[in-house]
Amino acid sequence: MEVTRLFDYIYYQQKHHPLKKSVGYKHNGAWTYFSTEEMIDAANKVSHGLRKLGLKAGDKVALVTYKNRPEWMMMDIGMQQLGIITVPVYPTISSSEYEYIFNDSEVKYCFVGEGDLFDKVKKAQASVSSLKDIYTLDKQEGRKYWKDLFVDGDAAELQAIKDAIKPEELATIIYTSGTTGNPKGVMLSHNNIVSNVANVKTLLPVSKGEKVMSFLPICHIFERSASYSYVHNCVEIVFTGTDNLGGESGDLQTVKPHFFTTVPRLLEKVYEKIYNKGLALSGAKKKLFFWALGLTDNYVFDKSASGLGAIKWSVADKLIFSKWRDALGGNVKGILTGAAACPSKIIRVFSAAGIPVREGYGLTETSPGLTISGFEKNEAMIGTVGAALPSVNLLIDASEGDYRDGEGEILAQGPNIMMGYYNKPEKTAEVTKEIDGEKWFRTGDIGKMITGAGGKQFLRITDRKKELLKTSGGKYVAPAPIENKFKEDFLIEQMMVVGENRKFVSALIVPAEEALQDWCKNNGVAWTCCADAIKDEKVHAQFQNVVNQFNPEFSHIEQIKKFTLIDASWEPVKADGSKAELTPTMKLKRRVILEKYGSHIDEMYT
């Protein structure tokens, strides 16, 4: 059976390897599973129910939940079968953001999970004329329940509707984080995502009937495409959250997955726990732990130890690394990390311990995968994000900008490239570049190609062209709005937000010297020079007050957790001939500042 539309996957599973436990999750404290047949039956009831509501092909329906759950997939499949466009939405955004997204996409209905989601969407509904009603996926008194829509209908009529849906038709609109403005709706067709899933089907280290765990938000294209891959590979999907993964009674121990996707931050947390346990040891056990950990420093993929080295690895594996594998359930054959750059140290440590970690790269606009590091020999290289997927073409474009040797903006072609931004043709044009009559998608990232041991070409990301940083948890943060707000305070001359691939967001702050001198005079702080003043506890406390004042205006992930005061003057031209921190139009030269103040930044994260 050929898969050409997203709803085909569950029928592929039904035909090739139906599962008694296709999708499961913990509901009301108990593990609950749905078979392949039950998933299909529920999806069909959704389709018939939505038809009864009057919905038809091209209508938009929103889905929002705090945790991944089978009902999300049932709704997604049920909508797709009618040609209804799924609009997945993050649960953590504000009512005003729901209002914008729902108005932009003209959402007609919204289905929500538990918590405060109904109230947030209800508040937005007052300003969304297209939104007719809100349904809950959990029974809530006085609110419409999604199962009330379940009806049996004419199977032949539904089949006819399904048969008419073409692979190139719009399947979903996914709204990306806005940088300085409103979010953009990425339009993805069935074929966009199907082509991506087909590319990775044989690259995932899972076999039919094995278990995978899913805890990254399914509203994000990374986990959503992964979920389609799991169904296509006929493996058991267990949905869970990040709040109860570890520990003796955690979900990893209960489920014992063979594979899962994650973001680097979660792996960093696991590593921190492992490291801290090692620090808590004493005597010979502590020495053995750090001896084993030291072996991982020089680990590279596909390298086998021999002689005395092999004996050392065998001892370390038996006494130390095997316990790490057990902590993850004992069955993990591979972990794929994405959404942010993963530190090489993390990849080395886990992979050396027999927990293969590989990295992929892509964007919502590319459905999402552009590259992936494979799990077989010569298919991965530490320090890169893998090779281009089979149907993807990559081009390193150095024609615009000042790049280091071999670097340039990463451009991409392929069937996975989005249809465009919804209602924003001008924004679509901005990320499209024509070269020799061919259109390429501009990723906004900078990279270079590296040749691996087997001669394969791997992509290394070296920088970000767009002014948008991403934390190690995979969360996008737009620095400019934060910086501009903080500079409203008279004490701040310049500020740069940092946090790319870091645990949290911090800032470098250049005080306004004259204003600071006045403040010191009025607050009993002796003034000699700026360098001395910024070391004073009262001065530091005042800047902390400024941070505390502005932080509530931003989301939790955007708030400044630490800052460093800099005794300097950032200028577009430096009298001493050194690199200027500002452009002629007074914009921050972020790379220059990162290089100059790298040690200050590192100190904030030690």
Residues 22 and 155 in one domain: yes
Per-residue model confidence (pLDDT) at position 577: 64
Residues 6+ apart with CB under 8 A from 580: 571, 572, 573, 574, 589, 592
Higher pLDDT, 305 or 562: 562
410 domain-assigned: yes
Q: Is 472 inside any structural domain?
A: no
- Domain identity same for 255 and 274: no
| Domain stop point among 226, 245, 262 | 262
Residues 18-57: pLDDT tens digits?
A: 999 999 999 888 999 999 999 999 999 999 999 999 999 9
Q: What CATH code is carried by the domain that includes residue 536?
A: 3.30.300.30
Residue 575's pLDDT is what? Answer: 66
- Per-residue confidence band for 213, with pLDDT thresholds at 50, 70 and 90: very high
Question: Residues 221-226: what's their mean pLDDT?
Answer: 96
Mean pLDDT on 538-564: 94
Q: Which residues pair with 477 in a beta bridge?
A: 469
The backbone region for 463, taken as left when phi is positive above 0, alpha when psi lies in -120 to 50, beta otherwise, is beta
Q: At residue 542, what are phi and psi to the nearest 5 degrees?
A: -65, -40
Select from 234, 262, 290 the last residue of a domain.
262
Distance in angstroms (rounded) separating the CA atoms of residues 567 and 535: 10
What percentage of residues in the chain have a pLDDT greater than 70?
97
Number of domains in the chain: 3
The stretches of 403-452 forming alpha helices (DSSP H) are: 425-430
Question: Is pLDDT above 80 for 464?
Answer: no
At 469 the pLDDT is 84
- Could you read off the pLDDT of 427-453 as tens digits, one per residue? 999 999 999 999 999 998 889 999 998
User: How does pLDDT run across 324-336, given as a tens digit for each residue?
Assistant: 999 999 999 999 9
Q: What is the mean pLDDT of the chain?
A: 92
Share above pLDDT 90 across residues of the chain, in percent, rounded to a whole number: 74
The CATH number for 388's domain is 2.30.38.10
Which string of b and e fits 412-441 if b means at least 16 CB within 10 Å?
bbbbbbbbbbbeeeeebeebebeeeeeebb
Closest of 496, 497, 489, 484 to residue 545, by C-alpha: 489
Asked if the peptide bond before residue 572 counts as cis, ω within 30 degrees of 0, the response is: no
CA 52 to each of CA 142, 368, 582: distance values in angstroms, whole numbers, following the listed order: 21, 34, 60
Strands (E), 375-452: 387-388, 393-397, 408-413, 420-421, 432-435, 438-451
Specify the pLDDT at position 164: 97
DSSP letter string over 177-191?
PPSSS---EEEEEHH
Residues 520 and 561 both lie in one domain: yes
> Is the pLDDT reported for residue 585 higher than 70?
no
The secondary structure of 255-324 as a DSSP string is: H--SEEEE-HHHHHHHHHHHHHHHHH--HHHHHHHHHHHHHGGG--TT----THHHHHHHHHIIIIIHHH
Closest-CA residue to 318 (of 295, 335, 302, 336): 295
| Cβ(204)–Cβ(176) below 8 Å | no
Query: Does 290 have pLDDT greater than 60?
Result: yes
Question: Is the pLDDT at 128 greater than 80, yes or no?
Answer: yes
Are 65 and 93 in the same domain?
yes
Q: Are residues 518 and 455 in the same domain?
A: no
Task: Name the residue range of residue 328's domain.
Answer: 264-419+428-466
Q: Are residues 359 and 245 in the same domain?
A: no
Q: What is the pLDDT of residue 179?
A: 41
- Is 399 in the same domain as 483? no
pLDDT tens figures, 278-287: 888 899 999 9
Are residues 270 and 255 part of one domain?
no
Judged against a pLDDT cut of 60, whether residue 378 lies above it is answered with yes
- Cβ neighbors of 493 (< 8 A, separation 6 or more) are 487, 510, 511, 512, 513, 569, 570
Residue 189 domain flag = no
- Give yes or no for a contact between 101 and 175, defined as CB atoms under 8 angstroms apart: yes
Query: Which residues fall within 8 angstroms of residue 60, CB to CB, at 6 or more apart?
Result: 84, 85, 86, 87, 105, 106, 107, 108, 173
Residues 542 and 456 in one domain: no
327 and 226 inside one domain: no
**Tokens, residue 350:** 């886990």
Q: Residue 370: helix, strand or coil by DSSP? A: strand
**Distance between CA atoms of 267 and 355, rounded to whole angstroms?**
11
Mean pLDDT of 500-517: 93
Cα 526 to Cα 568: distance, rounded to the nearest angstrom: 20
Is the residue at 57 inside a domain? Answer: yes
Q: Return the residue matching tokens 């009529």.
A: 157
